[in-house]
Amino acid sequence: MRNRVIICEASEIIANGLAEVIDSMAQFDVVARIESPEHLNEKITASDANLAIINPLLLGYQNKEFINQLGKEFPNLAIIALETSYLDHSILSPYSGVIEITDTRSKIISKMNEFSQSEATKKDDVELSKREVDVLVAVAKGMMNKEIADLMNISIHTVISHRKNITRKTGIKSVSGLTVYALLNNLIDESDLL
């Protein structure tokens, strides 16, 4: 599937140059170029874009709030900062990545491929399988790998493999973190922990 890109940049020269580089890549289509973020939400919806490149300077003081809200409204949208001048790291932190004005064509192509792959991986990995949920629940209840293996009639190696997948998909490494995750996602009740 081709990635559909929106560029939000006030400078026509910069937007057109970036669009030319992106359009030269087989897996990307620039579906819209807009000069301000005012109608960005409508453009994303209308074009079914999955990647937005935005100059943070256009957002001013609402930068972080705007990007966080955009992420909530469009969870499958990768939001990339287009840094046309030096910006503090805190301004760039809500973005999935950064394209700098000084990046070469090959660097931009490399970054776009990274953004595309990381977003595809994120989409693929969000959902836990039924077996992974079962292992997660057992871990959250305080069971050890051997106990989980015996309960589910699988090998310890399989349990460890499931736990690695759970950690990779959720980004949570600690047992306490997994317990909180299980509670927040209604996989267990507080009474299960006593």
What would the pLDDT profile of 70-125 be if each residue is shown by its tens digit? Answer: 888 888 888 999 999 998 888 888 898 999 999 999 999 888 888 877 665 455 44
**Lookup: tokens for 92:** 């760039």
Separation CA 150–CA 148 (nearest Å):
5
**Lookup: tokens for 120:** 């595809």
Q: Which residues pair with 79 in a beta bridge?
A: 52
pLDDT at residue 194 tops 70: no
Hey, is 78 helix, strand or coil? strand
CA distances from 176 to 144, 150, 180 (A): 13, 22, 6
Digit-coded pLDDT (tens) for 140-178:
999 999 999 999 999 999 999 889 888 887 878 888 888
Check: pTM over 0.85? Answer yes or no: no
**Lookup: tokens for 17:** 């140059």
82 in Cβ contact with 53 (< 8 Å): yes
Tell me, what's the pLDDT at 180? Answer: 86
Separation CA 19–CA 123 (nearest Å):
25
To the nearest whole number, what is the mean pLDDT of the chain? Answer: 88
List, in order, residues 6 or more apart from 132 with CB less than 8 Å away: 162, 165, 166, 169
Domains and their CATH numbers in the chain: 3-125 (3.40.50.2300), 130-193 (1.10.10.10)
